Structure 1
Amino acid sequence: GLAFENFDAIGRWRTTERVQSGVGEDPPVDASGKLPDGRTFANPADFKKLLARDERLAKAFLEQLSTYALRRVMTVDDMEAIQFIAKATREDGHGVKTLVRQLILSNLFQKR
């Protein structure tokens, strides 16, 4: 399955896969999966928890957010600040509000 398999083509939540033809009941949606590093998840909520714990995702998000907020490409010199922010937000599970707040309060943003 795929992590977001519970959502249909227009974003509605579903628990069964609608089959147009065939015999019997529609099969249940399988939203379980396995990440390349071997970690598994059973549903979108589990997948979200795995992603929230992944500091690489937080760093990538911060880099893109910083590029947008500062209107310039991040350089090697900026990576130390991005790593610091990612580590500082780890306790909160890298919540978006916390990431944005920490970016705005950082020297990277304040001294642009």
Structure 2
Amino acid sequence: MNLNISGHHVDLTPPLRDYVTTKLKRIERHFDNLINADVVLTVEKLRHKAEATVHASGADLHAEATVDDNMYAAIDSLIDKLDQQTRRHKEKLRDHHVREAVKRMPLQ
């Protein structure tokens, strides 16, 4: 997966970059077909905002989180939202009705 991390009014320190990459690995565990991810970290006054767009096969997932405390809490909230979206997308890709169709077929 290609990862692009940018900061707006934020110095992207190596620990902050490492934190984002380790958290995004959690999403890769759930769904392998991720193409790339664009993460933007922003600070406006005292509000820390993290937003990400993940391009997966079949969908583009977007989430954002705003927290007053610190950037790490905003990243945690963002990853939770993205994780939920990827699990929902993965469930939509599965065909759950195959077993029901097999059960209803008459025996010949």
TM class by shorter chain equals 0.3 to 0.5
Q: Which structure would you say has the larger RCO, counting Cα contacts within 8 Å and 6 or more residues apart?
A: 2
TM-score, normalised with respect to structure 1:
0.32
Higher share of residues assigned helix: 1
Greater radius of gyration (CA): 1
